[in-house]
Amino acid sequence: MTYKNEILKLKEEECWTDAIGDCGKAEVWLKNGTYFLFEIPLYGGRPQFSGAFFNRNIDALINKIDSWT
């Protein structure tokens, strides 16, 4: 996955946002060594918290994003 490498490049307090097909967007924040995943609805609205993932569980985060497409 292209975006896996982009997410792994995040530095503390940085955010990565990307469109995920026709389903809206994914937003990932890195804070205190933990990746926080939010789903942004396609037609706007507030981001919805979807989970917190440690670096060792980055594949679970990617699988969650992929499940939205």
Q: What percent of the chain has a predicted confidence (pLDDT) above 70?
A: 88
Give the residue numbers spanning the domain of 11: 2-67
Higher-scoring residue by pLDDT: 21, 39: 39
- The mean per-residue pLDDT over the stretch 37-61 comes to 90
What's the total number of domains in the chain? 1
| Residue 57: count of CB within 10 angstroms of its CB | 14
Is the pLDDT at 44 greater than 80? The verdict is no
pTM (2 d.p.): 0.85
Contact 31, 13 (CB under 8 A): yes
